[in-house]
Structure 1
Amino acid sequence: MARGLHLFQARRRSTRTAVCGAVPRCVVRFRLVTFLRSVAVFSILTFLKYLSRLFYKQDFAFIGDAPRDPWANIRLVVFLNHTSLFEPIFLGAVPNRFIWRLAAHGVIPAADKTTGRPLVGLVFKFVAHHVIPITRQRDHTWFAVLNKIDPKSMVVIAPEGRMKRATGLDMHGNPMTVRGGVADILQAAEQGRMLVAYSGGLHHVQVPGHIPNVFATVRMRVENLDIAGYIAEQMAKGGAEQFKRNVMRDLEQRRDMYCPEELQKTA
């Protein structure tokens, strides 16, 4: 019986050792896969950056009181005046360390209609570390985005939620409005810096169904804001109950004030 007890204890020690050895191996494997994905995304985005510089002139500038290092501690990028899926063209104006942040810690909510396309959807899966398909509803897909936000995350969102047509309206003929999800992300991030990117539009570059126009100028203005200060400012206008509405209204006003005038397509 004593011998049987010794054998049982020996097996337990052996099993414990195997489990303890397997856990670190799983962690190492996961970290390796994560790192390799980051490298792959960074390589693709860097290629797009220099391809953009080759074919397009970047008219890019910060507005307002930008900090000495406007690319440091970015937690949220709010992209306004969404007009085209060609918007990775604007990567031509950003530094490589911003691209690495996107590749290693980027979280992008993307319309499930876009990510579900055969070719475009595949490309979009490699524009950030986490690309999360979402519906137009506040459902489990949206909470999946919020659950991905951690202290190192950098979220990139187009809060209008749909593209503006050349008419200045959306595909249904409605005015372009900001949706409330960006307020959820602000509260999840809590602190750090926010870039508000004001696009000059890309209707002069790419019209759906047509060959893109190259050697054109693309325009963007960017504002760098402190997230905690911005939250406090919007909360002061009516408290938590009005916070989301105030954020939506404020971003629409900033967009209308700061977006560069759209260029016209040349013949």
Structure 2
Amino acid sequence: MKLFSFLLMGGVKFLSHCFYRGRPNWLSEEQEAALGEVRLVVFLNHTSLFEPLFIRFAPWSFVWNIAHKVIVPGADVTLERPLAGRVLKVLLPGVIPITRKADESWEHFLSLVNGDVITAILPEGRMKRRNGLDKDGKPMSVRGGVADILERLEQGKLLFVYSGGLHHIQCPGERLPRVFRTLTANLEILDIADYKRQIEQRHESGFKAKVMGDMNHRLDAFVP
């Protein structure tokens, strides 16, 4: 299954190179050479189920690691969809269904987080619609699950992927993507231990509130 996942990711990477333009913009001194140490991927500005197109920016070695080591929480309602859910399960064998509540499904996911896997998360927890709000008309913001993950990681690197958004390619509710458009993303690699030390210096009370405050700032400041 993991080999098939790698081949499928490779196919997505190939098609993305064929039909889309763009290159990543690095915000950090550490770049591709440090990807082998990444233990947490935080993807900010969730706008479309076609975000696997961003894999075009990843070197093949990181694609291999993602196929073999990644775990990612996925909304159970999305994974139960006949087409989208099946594709996501095949593309990402490490996707773990959760209910979006602080219940046993989230605790099960957290029990799998460790230094031997790559944990990935879209910390807003829902997709931004064309009007800039979620499907219920509420403002987009980061939720606290990413802080729970960080509490379980002491070493390795943290990769931020700041998406420029995909509404020009596919909006929630649309079935097919538009082609020959440009993908934009800012990337940043930080040391997890250093990041957590910096977070502790923030003025908010409580680790989770500090992480959410920082992530919301990054969502506003670093998304292209």
TM-score, normalised with respect to structure 1: 0.80
User: Helix, strand or coil for the counterpart of 2:160?
Assistant: strand
Q: Which residue of 1 aligns with 2:9?
A: 45
Q: Residue 147 of structure 1: which of 108, 111, 115 is its match?
A: 111
- In structure 2, stretches of 5+ residues that fail to align are none
Q: Which residue of 2 aligns with 1:163?
A: 127
Q: Which residue of 1 aligns with 2:97?
A: 133
Q: State the Cα distance separating 1:210 from its structure 2 match.
A: 5.1
Q: Residue 54 of structure 2: which of 90, 101, 124 is its match?
A: 90
The CA distance in 2 between the partners of 1:82 and 1:68, in whole Å, is 23
Cα RMSD, aligned residues only: 1.5
The CA distance in 2 between the partners of 1:120 and 1:226, in whole Å, is 34
The answer to whether the aligner puts 1:192 opposite 2:156 as a matched pair is yes
Is the deviation greater in 67-76 or in 109-118? 67-76
What amino acid does structure 1 have at the position aligned with 2:99?
A: T
The answer to whether the aligner puts 1:222 opposite 2:187 as a matched pair is yes
The CA distance in 1 between the partners of 2:143 and 2:102, in whole Å, is 11
**Count of matched residue pairs:** 223
Q: State the Cα distance separating 1:234 from its structure 2 match.
A: 1.2
- For residues 66-107 of structure 1, the C-alpha deviation after alignment (integer angstroms, 9 at most, x for no partner) is 257131210000000000000000011101111111111100
The CA distance in 1 between the partners of 2:188 and 2:111, in whole Å, is 27
Q: Residue 237 of structure 1: which of 202, 209, 213 is its match?
A: 202
Answer whether contact 2:115 2:156 (CA < 8 A) is retained. no
Q: Residue 118 of structure 1: which of 69, 72, 82 is its match?
A: 82
Q: State the Cα distance separating 1:173 from its structure 2 match.
A: 1.5
The CA distance in 1 between the partners of 2:32 and 2:39, in whole Å, is 17
Answer whether contact 2:21 2:181 (CA < 8 A) is retained. yes
The CA distance in 2 between the partners of 1:63 and 1:154, in whole Å, is 21
Q: State the Cα distance separating 1:238 from its structure 2 match.
A: 5.5
What amino acid does structure 1 have at the position aligned with 2:210?
A: N
Identity %: 43
The CA distance in 1 between the partners of 2:32 and 2:16, in whole Å, is 26
Q: State the Cα distance separating 1:197 from its structure 2 match.
A: 0.6
Larger helix fraction of residues: 1
Q: Residue 102 of structure 1: which of 53, 56, 66 is its match?
A: 66
- In structure 1, stretches of 5+ residues that fail to align are 1-36, 261-267
What amino acid does structure 1 have at the position aligned with 2:217?
A: Q
Answer whether contact 2:99 2:105 (CA < 8 A) is retained. yes
Q: Which residue of 1 aligns with 2:45?
A: 81
User: Helix, strand or coil for the counterpart of 1:92?
Assistant: helix
Answer whether contact 2:115 2:155 (CA < 8 A) is retained. no
Radius of gyration: which is bigger? 1
The CA distance in 2 between the partners of 1:67 and 1:39, in whole Å, is 26
The CA distance in 2 between the partners of 1:172 and 1:119, in whole Å, is 23
- For residues 143-167 of structure 1, the C-alpha deviation after alignment (integer angstroms, 9 at most, x for no partner) is 1111112321101100000000111
The CA distance in 2 between the partners of 1:127 and 1:194, in whole Å, is 22
